[in-house]
A and B are shown apart, each in its own frame.
Chain A
Amino acid sequence: MALLTILIDGVAYGMVLFVLACGLSVTLGLMNFVNLAHGAFAMAGGYVTVVLMQRFGVPFLWTLPAAFLATAAAGWVMERTLYRPMYAKSHLDQVMFSSGLVFMSVAAMKYVMGSQQQIIQLPGWLLGRFELFGISVGRYRLFVIMICGALALGLSWVFARTLFGARLRAAVDDARVARGLGIPVGLLFAVTFAAGSGLAGLGGALGVELLGLDPTFPLKFMIYFLIVVTVGGTSTISGPFFAAMLLGVADVAGKYLIPQAGSFIIYALMVLLLALRPDGLFAKAKT
């Protein structure tokens, strides 16, 4: 039954990756903007949780919305001031700009919080494991799967069923025509960017226990977000979701079963997938 436990751990891990990366996939699809600094928002969310719990004794559950709101606000401000002028520039400029932000955030966090790993004390009811049909399941992992699963369902509902989602999809497909039809693409983007950053912050807060948190977080996980986005494509919610699941399960299974290979399996898988399907695993053929 160890294999099933690995599967559940992998799914939990993949769920967190999805929440972390889904904002990036929308911003990439909407404005064609390569934001390597997405992980910095996730790190910020993680540190919000750590600081609130350690310094102010706020219960874990309350820190989650706080992490979301704080990073969403930061995302909104950054989008309005710094990111806006970058949309028209080349991919290369965007990569340079956002990796500059990554370097700054890493050094700044090291200065403020120190370079050690941060540890949080989860509430008692989330600790330990229990048996479910003979499979050992971590309570916290089940909690993460439920929260992130609900988020994924909610997001795909917003994306597919609401007016906001329809406008968003239209803008992703063809921003120029959407603008011509009177859809406020700029505002749409600011809202999406803020929500995406907030989700990244929430993912970072949930991930403190699963992924670990130290100032190099944005660099360490940058590649994971990019894998989710490039493999999953940017036109749906389900694409990045399945890509994140695949990545999570493959990474956890690889590290459990062949620990000496490290992250080798993930990177090899990504290079292979991109070599075979350069436009993403779920890309529709362009007409």
Chain B
Amino acid sequence: MSAPDLAAGTLAVRVRASLVLSRRWHPAEALFWLFAVAAALLFPRQLLLMNEIAILALFALSLDLILGYAGIVSLGHAAFLGMGAYAAGLVALHVAADPLLGLVIGMAASGILGLITSPLVLKGNDLTRLMVTLGVGLLMLELANALSFITGGADGLQGITMGKLFGQFEFDLFGRTAYAYSLGVLFVLFMVARRIVHSPFGLSLRAIRDNPLRATASGVPRNWRLAAVYTLSAAYAGAAGALLAQTTQFVSLDVLDFHRSADVMLVLIIGGAGYLYGGLIGAIAFKFLQDFISIFTPQYWQFWIGLFLVLFVLGGREIIHGGIKAILVRLPFLTSGKRP
């Protein structure tokens, strides 16, 4: 074997080894999921809120796939949430009440929409991408409003009744089944995403994010990879939408609204993009913040969210993330695995 071959061989071995290492479970991760399960038993009165958190976390996870790993900024991610919600709602109304069928169809519908719109985000700079995604989001809202004979227009899809999950568990008033269902879907999809971002495919996405020119020069098919991850992210957002439709048994134009796209961006920014748990942690923080604020000013909570955003970007972000990092560094047994 000649020297370059040998070098290439050892490089491939090293890359593979580092990927395998990054796939290993960190103790803090196990703790996180254990807590998510334990929360259902600890706070049985908060299950509906926790269900919302799980769905928002899944939505933020889907944004993290494109924003954190591929560097695609989007201001119209609600388009895919709404597509999944309407698809799942329509399936439940007209075809079958089985939740898993609705979930799969919701994901597929959003995935197809993502695939169709993916050529739009391949071109241009950040600003054009922001505009195009915003445009697609608003287009979907207008479309849903105009096609009121399908979507119910401003009244929304009403009278959705869900069948039993696996033919066993009925969706109850307290959200027990809903939370278990949402958390289960979140966990499964999270595992899939975790496997994907720690694969050679995920590595190539990060290469494109960090230096598109160099990635293309080293033979990474940029456009195909970006289209693939955009489609995947759309399908994830569709799953979140389907869960939302099924567990609240109602779909309205609100799922396509601009504030949904802005909120999910905020969630991801709070938690930090690019390590998958950011969306999950951000969703918990965001929902508690929202819940807390709306207790004393139900009408004007947007103001405080806005103020939070401004302060956060102006300097709070380094403080919060730096604080978390500092704590993690002080606990060496917890950080022995990974975390940048």
Chain A residue, CB-CB nearest to B117: A271
A-B CB proximity, top 7 nearest: A100-B309, A278-B124, A103-B306, A107-B303, A104-B306, A100-B310, A97-B313
Name the interface residues of A70-124: CB closer than 8 Å to any CB of B: 82, 85-86, 89, 91-93, 95-97, 99-108, 110-111
Whether B128 is near chain A, meaning CB under 8 Å from some CB there, is yes
Whether B103 is near chain A, meaning CB under 8 Å from some CB there, is no
Establish whether residues A97 and B135, one from each chain, have CB atoms under 8 Å apart when the complex forms: no
Residues of B within 8 A of A279 (CB): 124-125, 128
Given contacts A34-B130, A107-B300, contact A262 B307 (CB under 8 A): no
- Selected from A95, A226, A262, the residue in CB contact (under 8 A) with B142 is A262
- Selected from A92, A106, A227, the residue in CB contact (under 8 A) with B302 is A106
Contact with B along A246-277 (1 / 0, CB 8 A): 00000000000000111110011011001100
Establish whether residues B266 and A96, one from each chain, have CB atoms under 8 Å apart when the complex forms: yes
Whether A219 is near chain B, meaning CB under 8 Å from some CB there, is yes
List 17 A-B pairs, Cβ < 8 Å. Answer: A28-B127, A85-B314, A91-B127, A96-B265, A100-B306, A101-B306, A102-B306, A106-B302, A219-B258, A223-B138, A261-B146, A264-B143, A267-B135, A267-B138, A271-B136, A274-B128, A279-B124
Whether B237 is near chain A, meaning CB under 8 Å from some CB there, is no
Interface size classification for chain B = 35 or more
Interface size classification for chain A = 35 or more
Establish whether residues B142 and A275, one from each chain, have CB atoms under 8 Å apart when the complex forms: no
Residues of B within 8 A of A271 (CB): 120, 132, 135-136, 139
Establish whether residues B134 and A223, one from each chain, have CB atoms under 8 Å apart when the complex forms: yes
Q: Nearest chain A CB to B253's CB is how many angstroms away?
A: 12
Contact with B along A199-234 (1 / 0, CB 8 A): 000000000000000000001000100110010000
Name the interface residues of B117-160: CB closer than 8 Å to any CB of A: 119-120, 123-128, 130-132, 134-136, 138-139, 142-143, 145-146
Q: Nearest chain A CB to B79's CB is how many angstroms away?
A: 11
Residues of A within 8 A of B123 (CB): 275, 278
Whether B218 is near chain A, meaning CB under 8 Å from some CB there, is no
Residues of B within 8 A of A104 (CB): 302-303, 306-307, 310
- Selected from A99, A223, A226, A262, the residue in CB contact (under 8 A) with B145 is A262
Query: How far, in angstroms, from A100 to B310 measured CA to CA in the complex?
Result: 5
Chain A residue, CB-CB nearest to B301: A107
Indicate the member of B67, B265, B269, B313 with the most A CB atoms within 10 Å.
Answer: B313
Given contacts A97-B314, A223-B135, contact A103 B309 (CB under 8 A): yes
Residues of B within 8 A of A86 (CB): 313-314
Contact with B along A123-156 (1 / 0, CB 8 A): 0000000000000000000000000000000000
Establish whether residues A264 and B269, one from each chain, have CB atoms under 8 Å apart when the complex forms: no
Q: Point out residues on A near B: beta carbons under 8 Å.
A: 28, 34, 82, 85-86, 89, 91-93, 95-97, 99-108, 110-111, 219, 223, 226-227, 230, 260-264, 267-268, 270-271, 274-275, 278-279
Query: How far, in angstroms, from A24 to B269 measured CA to CA in the complex?
Result: 25
Establish whether residues B302 and A263, one from each chain, have CB atoms under 8 Å apart when the complex forms: no
Chain B residue, CB-CB nearest to A89: B313
Whether B201 is near chain A, meaning CB under 8 Å from some CB there, is no
Establish whether residues B132 and A275, one from each chain, have CB atoms under 8 Å apart when the complex forms: yes
- Selected from B128, B146, B266, B312, the residue in CB contact (under 8 A) with A278 is B128
Q: Nearest chain A CB to B158's CB is how many angstroms away?
A: 22
Query: How far, in angstroms, from A100 to B120 measured CA to CA in the complex?
Result: 26
Establish whether residues B132 and A100, one from each chain, have CB atoms under 8 Å apart when the complex forms: no
Whether B36 is near chain A, meaning CB under 8 Å from some CB there, is no
Q: Nearest chain B CB to A104's CB is how many angstroms away?
A: 4
Query: How far, in angstroms, from A262 to B253 measured CA to CA in the complex?
Result: 15
Query: How far, in angstroms, from A89 to B299 measured CA to CA in the complex?
Result: 32
Residues of B within 8 A of A274 (CB): 120, 124, 128, 131-132, 135
Query: How far, in angstroms, from A267 to B140 measured CA to CA in the complex?
Result: 10
Establish whether residues B119 and A275, one from each chain, have CB atoms under 8 Å apart when the complex forms: yes
Query: How far, in angstroms, from A270 to B306 measured CA to CA in the complex?
Result: 28
Establish whether residues B313 and A230, one from each chain, have CB atoms under 8 Å apart when the complex forms: no
Residues of B within 8 A of A85 (CB): 314
Query: How far, in angstroms, from A62 to B312 measured CA to CA in the complex?
Result: 40
Given contacts A263-B142, A270-B135, contact A100 B127 (CB under 8 A): no
Query: How far, in angstroms, from A140 to B136 measured CA to CA in the complex?
Result: 34
Q: Nearest chain B CB to A127's CB is how many angstroms away?
A: 33
Establish whether residues B139 and A267, one from each chain, have CB atoms under 8 Å apart when the complex forms: yes
Chain B residue, CB-CB nearest to A227: B131
Name the interface residues of B282-318: CB closer than 8 Å to any CB of A: 299-303, 305-310, 312-314
Establish whether residues B310 and A93, one from each chain, have CB atoms under 8 Å apart when the complex forms: no
- Selected from B128, B138, B299, B313, the residue in CB contact (under 8 A) with A100 is B313
Establish whether residues B73 and A91, one from each chain, have CB atoms under 8 Å apart when the complex forms: yes
Residues of A within 8 A of B258 (CB): 219
Chain B residue, CB-CB nearest to A103: B306
Q: Nearest chain A CB to B197's CB is how many angstroms away?
A: 19
Known: A262-B142, A267-B142, A274-B135. 15 other contacts (CB 8 A): A92-B73, A96-B313, A97-B314, A100-B312, A104-B307, A107-B303, A111-B300, A223-B138, A226-B131, A227-B131, A268-B139, A274-B120, A274-B124, A278-B124, A278-B125
- Selected from A223, A230, A270, the residue in CB contact (under 8 A) with B127 is A230
Q: Nearest chain B CB to A274's CB is how many angstroms away?
A: 5
Query: How far, in angstroms, from A57 to B68 measured CA to CA in the complex?
Result: 54
Query: How far, in angstroms, from A267 to B76 measured CA to CA in the complex?
Result: 12
Residues of B within 8 A of A82 (CB): 310, 314
Residues of A within 8 A of B193 (CB): none
Query: How far, in angstroms, from A100 to B75 measured CA to CA in the complex?
Result: 14
Query: How far, in angstroms, from A95 to B130 measured CA to CA in the complex?
Result: 9
Whether B262 is near chain A, meaning CB under 8 Å from some CB there, is yes
